[in-house]
């Protein structure tokens, strides 16, 4: 996580550390035991779909093209960060 925040998202070390602490304080580790789907063209991404189904997520926000091409999985919508921002943050919902 820290590597992505510092590299891809170009946060400062302090910003990355604050973000990671925030995540640790507000998240829980979940071990889904539902069936692993086989729908994504990148098999490693099927775990993301499994978790989304297990927790009944409303949406997945990702830049991963292998997930984005699906647009949805079961009841979970899949958005790019830009799509999510435009639809929900800019008040167009």
Question: 9-60 pLDDT, tens per residue?
Answer: 888 899 989 999 998 999 998 999 999 999 999 999 999 999 999 999 999 9
Would the pTM of this model clear 0.85, i.e. be above it?
Answer: no
Query: Token match 């989304």: residue?
Result: 52
DSSP state of 6: H
Instruction: Report pLDDT for 93.
Output: 54
What pLDDT was estimated at residue 92?
Answer: 56
Output the CA torsion 72→77→82→86 (10° steps).
130
Partner residues linked to 73 by β-bridges: 76
């Amino acid at each position: 996580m820290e590597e992505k925040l510092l590299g891809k998202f170009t946060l400062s070390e302090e910003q990355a550390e604050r973000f990671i602490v925030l995540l640790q304080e507000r998240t829980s580790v979940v071990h889904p035991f539902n069936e692993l789907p086989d729908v994504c063209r990148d098999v490693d991404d099927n775990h993301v779909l499994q978790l989304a189904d297990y927790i009944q997520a409303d949406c997945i926000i990702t830049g991963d093209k292998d997930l984005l091409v699906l647009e949805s999985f079961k009841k979970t919508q899949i958005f790019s960060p830009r799509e999510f921002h435009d639809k929900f943050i800019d008040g167009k919902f």
